[in-house]
Structure 1
Amino acid sequence: MCNNYAMKVSPATLMDSFADAAIPLIFPEGMPNAEPTESVRPTDPALLIRGDGTGQAALTSVRWGLPPSAPKRPLLINMRSEGRSFTSGRALVPASWFYEYTGTKYPKTKWTIAPLDHDFITFAALCKATSEGPRFSLLTVDAGPDIVGTYDRQPAVVAPDDWAAWLDERVRPPHLGPSRAGTFRVFESAKG
């Protein structure tokens, strides 16, 4: 499942895109220091967007991975969305593309899964307050037709038309489901 993604889009570009969707972005902790990167991994700080209940959304930097629910359990970096209501903690995580890995032996084959028609995508996420500060987990769904040949699950992607509803916890969230055919191009990443 997704444990690595790229974020090459600047906060200013995110601000413009969300303004186009009539969702002004605010920066309660100041403009996040977000250097473009080809690798965001669990425990890394990542850009996260949360609704504030007024039609605006806050862009902050939050660590990826919810603490385990019991000792000796792994960090919760991905969470199945099926059967959950998500009445609180809904967030968006912007990404330029993400990676999946196939194979049973090291080195595994690394695949890049990039959006065809946009500079970035937004993953559905769940953000919670923890003793270590806010943390998030990506929400997952069955893989769409572009991805299913690589992996059977994918991060849930929230389209720009659904950003406002996903971020407004006063309303029912939009349905999370597999991405439609033609959403992504999948190619083997360069060996490095």
Structure 2
Amino acid sequence: MCNDYRLEVDIASIAEDFEDLKIKIKMPEGKPNVPAREDIKITDVAPIVRSIEGERGSGELVNRRWSWPGPKGKPVYNFRSEGRAFTSNRCLILADGFYEFTDPTEPKQKRLDKWLFTMADHRWFCIAGIWQESPQGEAFTMLTMDAGPDVAPYHHRQIIPLTRDQWADWLDPAVPAADMLRWLPQGSLRVTQVFGTPPAQGALL
């Protein structure tokens, strides 16, 4: 599952896209400092848009830590969505790509193969997430489900990219999570092979 993702799109462009979708974005802590990053890894701080209780069509853009400590201290960076309603603390995780790793294709190759997934029809997208308080402060995690057709050749589980018409609904806890947490149509994700070493594994809940 995803333990490394990318965000190289600037915040101004992201804010414009939310405005086009009639989603009001507030920045209660000021405009986040979000440098372009090819690799955002577990425990890094990264931007999310979190829901505002009682305000349909609005969200707060803040920087938060990716993962909180699990029961045994390992970081919870992915969280199973099956059978859960997520009636509070929803968030959109901003990304323009995410990575999966597979065993090396070459017998003598020491590094795992690294694959970049991007959206076929948009420059950037949002991943379904939740956030909570933790000993390190507020933190977020990515929701997961069984892999759909674009990801299954690389991993049996996947994170959940949301289509743009789902963003406002995900920020509204009154909209059932089961109506939104589903695979994208086949061909929605483009896959490019790159190389690298994955970060240390954490806890999956």
TM-score (norm 1): 0.93
5 Å matches for 1:1-192?
1-52=1-52, 53-54=54-55, 55-69=57-71, 71=72, 73-103=73-103, 106-173=110-177, 174-189=179-194
SS in 1 for 2:30: coil
For 1:24 and 1:31, locate their aligned partners in 2 and report how far apart those are by CA, in whole Å. Answer: 14
User: Is the CA contact 1:142–1:177 (under 8 Å) kept in the aligned structure 2?
Assistant: no
Deviation at 1:66, TM superposition (A): 1.7
CA contact (8 A) 2:51 2:89 kept: no
Gaps of 5+ in 2: 198-205
Alignment deviations for residues 115-163 of structure 1 (CA, whole Å, 9 cap, x no partner): 1110111100010012321101100112221111111111111111111
SS at match of 2:84: coil
Q: Is the 8 A contact 2:148 2:158 kept in 1?
A: yes
Residues 164-183 of structure 1: per-residue CA shift (max 9 Å, x gap):
11101233333301221011
| Structure of higher RCO (CA pairs closer than 8 Å, 6+ residues apart) | 2
Aligned length: 190
Q: What CA distance in whole angstroms lies between the structure 2 residues aligned with 1:20 and 1:106? A: 46
Q: 2:202 aligns to what?
A: none
CA distance in 2, matches of 1:188, 1:3: 16
Residue 68 of structure 1: CA displacement? Answer: 1.1
**Structure 1 residues 173-182 or 138-147, which shifts more?**
173-182
The question of whether the paired residues in 2 share the 8 Å contact of 1:143 and 1:179 is answered with no
Is residue 112–residue 196 contact of structure 2 (8 Å, CA) maintained in 1?
Answer: no
Tell me the distance in 2 between the aligned counterparts of 1:51 and 1:130: 18
